[in-house]
Every structure is written in structure tokens, then in C-alpha cells.
Structure 1
């Protein structure tokens, strides 16, 4: 004998429908107090009760409760998504701020290093520069000028015109190796220059440096005068290969080779 699948109200209810019917049934049982009568209902009774329960379910407000539950879940999901986006935005801003800070620090470092390099270069140029020993003066007696005034028979340096008390400058960077009385040179100063040559300043009325002191181009080292073997105040200037007398070289050519116009 073949069995046909029942149609209509005798079909197995869906999961949602079963759940709601069960919930409604529990509600109905709790309301009516009838427990035994529902223990073994017939299909017709079940169908009738089912219809009644479904009708009651629609009137109990249980369906809005389910809807409210979904709304709350949606709100929670939306809140979580908003928090996630806010956290991502905060992280992005922090990353951007850190990148900007690092960029600014790198720029400041580069600028500082550039300034330091420029300062070192300027200092090197200054230390390698040369000046005239007397500002705004001129050579009054040239190198190798002959005459009885000099024991060697000729002038071993040049004389710069200068009144007594005129400021005398180191022509370049170096270290003082000798100061004091120099016989015919009177009060003198001898400086070893940074390139290994030596310069000498004679007939000074005053000495303003001491042995071992380093000097820079243009630094005042003494005052001109007329001490020693001289006919009047001036500065006697020599360029030498050693600190000793007799190792002189042309002082004008020496100064010019270092960019000094004399």
C-alpha cells in the first residue's frame, strides 16, 4: 500500500515555526494550566491547537521581541565596526605623526650637519688665509736692498711703513716659537706658520704674545716701534724656511703666494 505525503496543516513545520509554536504552547499551558490534555493530542486537535497557538503567538508580542533582538545585535555590530574604524584611524594618525616627526628630525639633523660643515669650511678658509702684517701700509724698503745698514750687506726682509705703536698682526695661523730681544732686530716675534714656514716681526715697541701660543690670521701680536738697529719706527718683516737668521726668502713673494696684495 502506498502512502501519500500529507498536505496542508499536516506538514512538518519549519524550525522557526516549531520554535514559535513550542514557545506559544508553553505560554498557553502556563496560562490555561492544562498539562495532561496536551500529552497525546490527535492530528486534528494538534492542528487546532497549532492554529490557536499560532494565532495566540501573533498576539503575544513574541515576534517583536525577536525583531528587537536582531536590532540590538545590529547595533552591537555597528558599534564594533565603528570602534574598529576609530582604532584604525587613531593608528593611522599616530603613524602619520611619527613619520612627520622622523622627517622633521632628519631635516633638522641635515640642516645642523650642513651648518657644521659650512662652519668648518669657513674656519679652514680663515686659518688658511693670510693678511698683511700692517693694515693699510706699504713697503718702504724692499727685500735684498744693499747698504751698510745691514751686517749681511743687504736687507733680509722688508720694512712696512708704520708709526710707533701701530698694531702688528700675525700674517697667518701658526704657533709662537720665539719672543724677546733679537739684537739688531730689537724686540722680535718669530711664528711657525701652519705650512711649516716661519715669519719674523722686528723693532717692536711692545710684544703681546708668548712662546707656545697659537695665533690666527690678523690677530694682534704686538705694536710697532724703533727698537734695535733702526733709523726710525717701522716694522721689519721676514719670511724664513727655519726660525733662524739667514734662512730668509722673499717676503713679498711669500705674501702674494698666499693671496695678500702688497
Structure 2
């Protein structure tokens, strides 16, 4: 019996040992799992933290980016192309010292800091369409205000019926009276009862320029000559081939030249009025007989002549 009991006890011990071993393994597995979870927390945290850190890095890098202006650029174009958060206003605010006081005036070669750059694929992007719709609604309200103001201003600007009648009655009288007075007081012919002689522009070897630079008026020696318009005398003396000459700078900037005078009645620097006598006609200088050689010039010197008859006629003088 003791031997048999020992044989029976051995299998029991083995069973107990096996059961104990199995139980120990079952306890060990949860323990290993728990320990593994505690020993390796970093990978899970790294996976979670990496995406959050990336946008911040990109934002920091984009805030330091720069853009060099090329021909045809505007702040609006650059802001759209670079996805600048806040548009051209934000871009201008960050580069005010470079651009200056006028945001519409930028030059090729300027280096702009592209700050606050918005990511193109930003999750919040789908929410932006709601913003334009609000902006689209604003102009409709704003546009109505100027229209209302315009209507009010238009009504206020309309003259009364009585004032309209007064204006319509007075206007024709004023217009008719002003034109003849202005024409008569501004320009006159260089002498009374003018009779045209050799015309302006006639070709010939007797003239240094190859053509007649003025308009001749038939006048015997001693015929009074007069200023064709208001002006200042700039020449009064002997002019070589022109003989005794007088030149007047007219109020509109042209010059009136009188040549071959027998006597001069004005001095340099003297102010003259249209119709005022400036001298007497004669035959001094290179001439074949007494007459008035009259020129209109763009400048004071010889060679800047224009057609004097056309000039005087354009100013209301009958020739």
C-alpha cells in the first residue's frame, strides 16, 4: 500500500504541477501584455504627435518664405498665387516698408516676405464658400445706397422751372454779344484797308530760305502800321536785310514781325495793344520799293515762320 500510494501520489503531484504550471502561464500572459503596454508607450504617442507638429513646422517655414516681384505682378496676383492668408492686404501690411505708401505701385526686383501663407489643402477650406456668398450679398446692399444718393442729388441739382426760364432767356443774348466783342478787341490787320501783295511761301532765289517767309502788304512810305494783337515789343531797330524792324511777342506766344519801316514808334519792352500804332511803312533794307513785309513766327528768330494770312483769318481778321 505505501508503494502503491506513492505511485498514486506521483501522478497527482504531476497533475498539480501541470495545473500549477498552466495556471502560472495564464497569469503570466496578462502580466507580459500589461508590461509590454507600459514599456512601449512612445510609438503610439509619436504617431499621434507627428501630424500635429507637421502643420506648425510648415507654417513656420512658410512665414519665412520670400518672393521676388517680376514684371506684371500685383499684390493681389502674388497673394492668390502664394495662397497668402488675408489676401493682398495682409501681404501689403507685412511689406509696407518695401512697397511704400501706394499698394498699387510695385516694381520688378522687389523682395517681398510672404508671411501667413495658407495651406492649399487646409481642412477649413470647405467653409470658405460661405464667406464669398456673404460678400456677394454686401455689394447689393451697398450698391443701393449710391443709387439712392444719386437720385437725391439729381433732384437737388435740378433748377426750378423759374430758373430754367431765366437761363433759357438770358443765354442767347450773352452768347451773341460775347463773340463779336472778343474778336474785334483781340486781333486786327497790320494796317488799315489792307491790300495783299506777294504771298507767303512763294519760291524764289531772292530769299535766303528759298521762299517768301512773310506776306507783303501794299503800302506807300509813311503808312501807319499797327499791332495786330496785344503783346510786348521784343525787337525795335535795324534788322539788316529787314531794314528797320519791329517784333512783338503776342499774348498767345506767337511773334509778329514788321520789316522795311521808315520809322519806329515803339521801344523794346513796351506793352502794346491791338490796333496801337507801332511805326510807319517804308523801303529800308533789301527791297525793290516801299511796302510792309509782315510775318507770324512760332519763335523770335528767322526761319520759324508760319502763314500769316491764315493765322490772322483764324483770329477773325478779314483779309
TM-score, scaled to structure 1: 0.52
Cα distance in structure 2, aligned partners of 1:127 and 1:173: 12
Q: Is the 8 A contact 2:234 2:248 kept in 1?
A: yes
Cα distance in structure 2, aligned partners of 1:231 and 1:146: 17
Cα distance in structure 1, aligned partners of 2:183 and 2:317: 13
**1:222 is matched with which residue?**
279
RMSD: 1.7
**2:151 is matched with which residue?**
none
Question: What number of residue pairs does the alignment pair up?
Answer: 141
Cα distance in structure 2, aligned partners of 1:241 and 1:138: 24
Distance change >3 Å, CA 195–CA 237, structure 1 → 2: same
CA deviations over 1:116-143 (Å, ceiling 9, x no partner): xxxxx89x83785211101112111000
**1:212 is matched with which residue?**
269
**2:35 is matched with which residue?**
none
**2:232 is matched with which residue?**
175
**1:125 is matched with which residue?**
182
Shift of 1:148: 2.0
**2:296 is matched with which residue?**
239
CA deviations over 1:170-218 (Å, ceiling 9, x no partner): 0010000111111111000010001111110000000000011111111
In the alignment, structure 1 residue 154 sits paired with structure 2 residue 211: yes
Q: 2:250 aligns with which of 172, 189, 193?
A: 193
Q: Is the 8 A contact 1:130 1:258 kept in 2?
A: yes
Structure 2's unaligned 5+ residue stretches are 1-177
TM-score, scaled to structure 2: 0.43
Cα distance in structure 1, aligned partners of 2:183 and 2:224: 20
**1:166 is matched with which residue?**
223
Cα distance in structure 1, aligned partners of 2:195 and 2:237: 25
Cα distance in structure 1, aligned partners of 2:308 and 2:207: 17
Cα distance in structure 2, aligned partners of 1:253 and 1:219: 22
Q: Is the 8 A contact 1:127 1:217 kept in 2?
A: no
**1:15 is matched with which residue?**
none
SS at match of 1:139: coil
Cα distance in structure 1, aligned partners of 2:184 and 2:267: 20
Cα distance in structure 1, aligned partners of 2:184 and 2:244: 26
Structure 1's unaligned 5+ residue stretches are 1-120
Q: Is the 8 A contact 1:238 1:248 kept in 2?
A: yes
Q: Is the 8 A contact 1:186 1:203 kept in 2?
A: yes
Q: Which structure 1 residue ranges, 4+ long, deviate > 6 Å from structure 2? A: none
Q: Which one has a bigger Cα radius of gyration?
A: 1
Where relative contact order (Cα < 8 A, 6+ residues apart) is larger, the structure is 1
